[in-house]
Amino acid sequence: MTILVLTPVLVALAASAAAVTAGWRRWTASLTVLAALTILGCGVALGFGYGSEEHLALGGLLRVDALSVTMLIVIGVVGTLTTWASIGYIDAELDHGHTDPRGARTYGALTPAFLAAMVVAVSANNIGVTWVAIEATTVVTAFLVGHRRTRTALEATWKYVVICSVGIAVAFLGTVLLYFAARHAGAPEAHALDLDVLLAHAGDLDPDVTRLAGGLLLIGYGAKVGLAPFHTWLADAHSQAPAPVSALMSGVLLSVAFSVLLRIKPIVDESVGTGFLRAGLVITGLLTVAIAALMLTVTTDLKRMLAYSSMENMGLIAIAAAAGTTLAIAALLLHVLAHGIGKSVLFLAGGQMQAAHGSTAMADITGVLGRSRLIGTSFAIGMIVLLGLPPFAMFASEVSIAGALADAGLAVVLGVAMLLIAVAFAALVGRSARLLLGTPDGAAPAIAVPATIAGALLAGILASVALGVTAGPLTDLFTTAAEQLGAS
């Protein structure tokens, strides 16, 4: 079991070292794809082999349970799609002079390091180690966001670094306070931040200290998730990052950060009651959905539109977590996986539109469906997934979240959320229709699609269809994760 958790990290770090040593080569880039596939394979193997019990490894440093397995699968699926597409993307960037061998080497080295950091974040049993891993993702992705080294890319990078660093510093304060409370509750010094130890002592934690710690952790990790009020980095960073990096950040990094809040919630709930974090998640979730919906009505940039859509979905996930029932958490996890795959398809297709037009302004991009069947169809299917229409999985997840909110006595919250989601829905449909079906300019450029990007798009579409038709054994995994998190 330990080897199945350690292998993805070691393979990803080996791929990073190979890129540092040999630079950007097809074989070094392929090693990164292999690392992502290894994460997926190990996640699937753990999902089928670990049973329904929680397991600790490496003296309690690693935790294997249904949530960590779920997140490994999400990282593996999205990571495979994006690293596969990265091969053609960076080759095209080199051919068109948008980057140089040094930039390609940096990209090749940091992408697998990014994957390794996320694996550690979701597998660690100690929330101090988790904090370090989340901070590592900030450092790594900062250089990826600024890949093109343009003025706007550098501005977005600094905004991302400053806001997320403030957020992670707030989370650090919350972690310190939780350690303080655990030590005074009798937890051993060396293991006071271990999740199993914190859960065992949760009933003895000082409520006032734990309440303050929980609030700080919600604010801190919420900044990394893109929840209001520290959401302002998200649209800038996603709009400037390379398309595969935007897909990784939107499709999985935000969810990895939110998984930390799912880990912390049972501890805080046991100490201070369920009302405290429920109120915080509802307020931040609704505010995030509201801001995203309003911004979607006015944005004119393709990648910013997709970024605001990610905000909307993270807000909905926060609201689902507030409900805290088994149905809500299981639906939340299905939503995370479906959103990750669908958003990867959208960002990868959008990246080719950007490459063809030299712009992400939607006024410059129109009639895509008639100009490139692959890109147009991929974007259309990705948007249908994102809009939560049947038969895709986000339809099932959103219906289940709605039912869970009603059952949890949050009918008013559900009503407000549905109204805001309807606004976002209308905005996304209107802008996507013009982009896909509008009359193209006579001088509109051809939209080239490298083979690896085409393969990743087709794989993403097939994965979305398969997940929509049946979640299969994943349903049991999601339900087990909800039960292990103390959902009622």
- Confidence (pLDDT) at 52: 64
Around 145, how many Cα atoms within 13 Å sit in the side-chain half-sphere?
26
Helix, strand, coil fractions of the chain, as percent rounded to 5? 80, 0, 15
* Residue 34 clears pLDDT 70, i.e. is over it: yes
Where do the structural domains in the chain lie, given as residue ranges?
2-484
* Residue 352 clears pLDDT 80, i.e. is over it: yes
CB atoms within 10 A of CB 377: 17
- Confidence (pLDDT) at 54: 78
- Cα–Cα dist 238/235, whole Å: 5
Q: What is the pLDDT of residues 115-145, one digit of tens each?
A: 999 999 999 999 999 999 999 999 999 999 9
Cis (ω within 30 of 0) for the bond into 229? Answer: yes
CB atoms within 10 A of CB 312: 28
Which uninterrupted H or E stretch holds 63? strand 62-64
Strand partners, 63: 56
Q: What is the pLDDT of residues 147-205, one digit of tens each?
A: 888 888 889 999 999 999 999 999 999 999 999 999 999 999 888 999 999 999 999 99
Q: What is the pLDDT of residues 235-247, one digit of tens each?
A: 999 888 999 999 9
Residue 476 buriedness (CB in 10 A; 0-12 / 13-18 / 19+): middle
To 10 degrees, what angle do helices 232-240 and 151-184 make? 130
- Confidence (pLDDT) at 471: 76
- Confidence (pLDDT) at 363: 86
Q: What is the pLDDT of residues 467-488, one digit of tens each?
A: 998 877 788 999 999 999 977 6
Greater pLDDT, 142 or 439: 142
